Amino acid sequence: MRISQELLDEMVAHAVADAPNECCGIVSSKDGEATKVYRATNTEASPFRFVIDPKQVYDIHTAIEDTGLDLGAIYHSHTRSDPYPSQTDVNFAAQWPGVQWIIVGTANGDPQVRNYEIRDGEISDAELEVG
């Protein structure tokens, strides 16, 4: 996925603002290019997990489809561990085939962003081209 520095910065700012709790949101895309970041509310308000309210998911997904875009990625932060998918993330990803997973790690104070594909429980790195 290609993403502008501005959209990447928006996700990082969301992660930093919501710390010590995990943040979460959705990224729309078109032809592999991120087009917009949709901030969501972590209804768990937890540093260990995130849950997006189903109505909020529906509203964001509808807005993306109404503009002819694709749901490109779900993003969230890890505030106490490296930006690598947890087993909870892997389990959640099963509900969203074909969606990439962007994780912002804020544990060490210098945010790190990684992108993954999770298919059939298997995690693989996915390119995140910034520019």
Residue 109's pLDDT is 83
Supply 125's token pair. Answer: 């790195």
- What would the mean pLDDT of 78-94 be, rounded to a whole number? 95
Q: Tens of pLDDT along 13-49?
A: 999 999 999 999 999 999 999 999 999 999 999 999 9
Q: CA-CA distance, 85 to 81, in Å (whole number)?
A: 10
pLDDT at 113: 98
Q: Please give the pLDDT value at position 108.
A: 84
Q: What is the pTM of this model?
A: 0.96
> What is the sign of the dihedral through the CA atoms of 69, 10, 58 and 120?
positive
Domains of the chain, first to last: 2-130 (3.40.140.10)
Residue 73 has phi, psi (to 5 degrees) of -155, 155
Establish whether the linkage from the previous residue to 83 is cis, with ω within 30° of 0: no
Instruction: Judge whether residue 85 has pLDDT over 90.
Output: yes
DSSP result, 25-89: EEEEEETTEEEEEEEE-BTT--SS---B-HHHHHHHHHHHHHTT-EEEEEEEEESSS-SS--HHH
Statement: residue 106 has pLDDT above 90:
yes
How many angstroms separate the CA atoms of 45 and 113, rounded? 21
